[in-house]
Structures are given as structure tokens and as C-alpha cells.
Amino acid sequence: MSDALHASPSGQTTPVTPSIRHDWSLAEIEALFALPFNDLLFRAQQVHRAHFDANAVQVSTLLSIKTGACPEDCKYCPQSGHYTTGLGREKLLEIEKVVAQAKAAQEAGASRFCMGAAWRSPREKDLAVVLEMVSRVKALGLETCMTLGMVDGDQASRLAEAGLDYYNHNLDTSPEYYGEIITTRTYADRLETLANVREAGMKVCAGGILGMGEAPRDRAALLQQLARLEPHPESVPINMLVKVPGTPLEDVEDLDPIKFVRAIAVARILMPASHVRLSAGREQMNESTQALAFLAGANSIFYGDKLLTTGNPQATRDRALFDKLGLHPERRDTCHDDDRQQAALAGALAQQERQARSAALAYDATQA
């Protein structure tokens, strides 16, 4: 097997770097899920250690830059305008407020700053403001990530030119179960956005949500879809459903934590070089479940009090857990060697162009 152990001259065993595959069959993936738990985690650890420092965790912070009143009908989402969840509608945040939040996140230890807007797709006047946000946050030396809904090729190219590193667009679930969760956009729409992002030269952040009432086969099929992407998504968020009152999934049965950890391990095996993010749902997870997820190959988290609109473990709790487990934040310069140079260049260009662009962007973004 590609991740079998080889003996070194000293007698120690080290894992062979696993090959990157895009042709995993559903039967192969289901067979991974069916492995004894210890065997599955051992195999995932071999793969993880072949590509990453097993004790380093990439840390991101997520900010909602436009909240609520989304026209999509995603059954898990409190921001959907189709459901009454008590979430107030908020306008697009002002640029300076976003930059201030990014600075605070950086000071708290984040290496990536993610910005999310509850849109089907961005309007032109909103995109102009978003492009400035990207430029300003990038100039701080942070990696930048956005999720704005569907984007076409031109929008993706403009985001890339502004300095956006990652674009998040989740597949959510399997193609077969997708229609039970969302009807206002198709699976093909999601794949098209990911293709536009990749063609524009940005990195892809794409994952899914577990615990939405899907069958085990759907979890395998979701990971198969992600592993088919060429190249694999650089970031793969695996979310546990956060059940929000007022959404159609508020009473769905809880997913067993061990089944969730199995999915983390399988994702690690299928996408060896990707950052697998232990994402939404950590607020409901105890330390033992999170520790098992890290052991299974999760090496990225969101850091802070909220994920868009739902709770997330506070930064002090995360630091305490890291200390207890001997984990440490991944240094950004270990992810991409040219990031510092790119950030410096982006900052210089942003400084030169800011005055020229400010007049065109001087409308009140909160009135969007």
C-alpha cells in the first residue's frame, strides 16, 4: 500500500509518502470507513505525518461581513431568508471595521482571515468594496479567504487580482442527498464556482456538513466528490451540523462523534496534502472528541468566538486545549514560501492605489 511502513537503516519505521489520487471508488472509500477505528486512525496518522508536522494546526478567523436575508434555502442555515431564526439582517460592513477585525485576529494568533457574506452571488457595487477589503487585509500579511456565494469567471479573476488567496464554496453533502438540503442552486452550480476559482489561480476551500440526516454512503460520496477535484482543495472544512432553532434541521438526530472522527480520518487519507479543518460544531464537542479529530488528521481550525453566526470555542479555551495536547499554531511561512514576498508586494501596491480607488468606493457600504 502507498502508506505502508518502511524500515530505515537505524531500524526505525517511517511512512512512505502516499500518492495523490483522484480516482477513489465509492467502494474503496466505504471500505476505509468500515476499518476498525484504531486501524483507520493509524493509517490516517501515517498519511498526515508524511505531509505535515503532526502537532501543528493552521489557525483561521472567520468574520461575517454581511449577515442574514440570504435568498438561498439551505436547510441548515440561520441566514436563509426562508426561515425565522431570530437573526437580524445586517448590511455589508465598512472596510475599516473589517481591517480592524483582521488586525485583532492577527494579534490573537490567526494566520488566515476569512470573510463571509450571505449572498447568492455578489453584486457589482458590493464586489468593488469586497476587493478593497481583500487588498487591505492582504497588506497586513495575513492569508485571505472569502465566501460570497457563486462567482463567475470574471468575478473570480478580479478577486484573485486583488490578492485573495482562498475562496470557500462547500459542496455540503453528496450529489444524491443534495436535493434534500438545498433547492435554490444545483450541485453543478457549486462545481462551476469551484472551477472558476481554480481557473483564476486561487486556492480552493471546499468541504461539507455532516449530521444533516444523511446516510453513511452520502458521507463517503461527499468525500469522493472532493477527492475528484484536480488538484484537491487546499483546505477541506469538515463541519458538524449546528442545529439552529427555526431551521428545518433543528430536530435532526445527532451524529455520533466517532462517526464524525471517522470522516476526518478518511478525508485525510483521500486528500493527503490538504489542510483538513475541524470546523463548525466544535462548540458542542468535548475535548476528547476534538483530540481524536486532531489524531485523525485534522490540522486546521477556526479561532474565535463565532463562525459567522454560530458559536465557536473561545480563544482562551482553544489555547488551553492546544497546551494540553502539545499542539501549536502552524507558522504561515511553513505553508507557502513566497507568501511574505507576495504580502509585501500586495501591501505596496495597495498603498499606491488606495487614494486613486477611494473616491470610487466612498459610498456608505452599510446602506447596500
A 10 A CB-CB count for 89 gives: 12
The label of the residue with cell 463565532 reads: 306
Q: Active site residue: 74, 112, 185, 262, which one?
A: 74
Burial 329-347 (b: 16+ CB within 10 A, else e): bbebeebeeebeeebeebb
Q: Which one of the listed residues 43, 77, 136, 282 is annotated catalytic?
A: 77
User: Active-site residue 205, yes or no?
Assistant: yes
For the chain, report the end-to-end CA distance as a whole number of angstroms: 55
β-pairing verdict for 143-147 and 112-117: parallel
Give the active site residue among 190, 262, 277, 332: 277
Decide if 74 is catalytic.
yes
Catalytic residue among 114, 136, 219, 262: 114
Angle of helix 26-33 versus helix 216-228 axis, rounded to 10? 120
Q: Which of 136, 145, 219, 282 is catalytic?
A: 145
Nearest-10 crossing angle of helices 26-33, 37-51:
110
Examine the residue annotation and report whether 277 is marked as an active-site residue of this protein: yes
- The enclosing H or E element of 269 equals helix 257-270
Nearest to 164 by CA among 216, 100, 238, 113: 113
Backbone angles phi, psi at 184, to 5 degrees: -90, -5
List 43, 136, 190, 205, catalytic entry: 205
Alpha carbon dihedral 174, 176, 179, 185, in 10-degree steps, equals 60
Environment class of residue 109 by beta-carbon count within 10 Å: exposed (0-12), middle (13-18) or buried (19+)? middle
Contact in structure between 47 and 269 (CB atoms under 8 Å)? yes
**Which grid cell sits at 251?**
430536530
Q: How would DSSP label each residue in 32-100?
A: HHTS-HHHHHHHHHHHHHHHS-TTEEEEEEEEEEE-S-BS---TT-TTBTTS--SPPP-PPPPHHHHHH
Alpha-carbon distance 209 to 173, whole Å?
A: 6
| Residue 335 is a catalytic residue | no
Annotated catalytic sites, by residue? 70, 74, 77, 114, 145, 205, 277
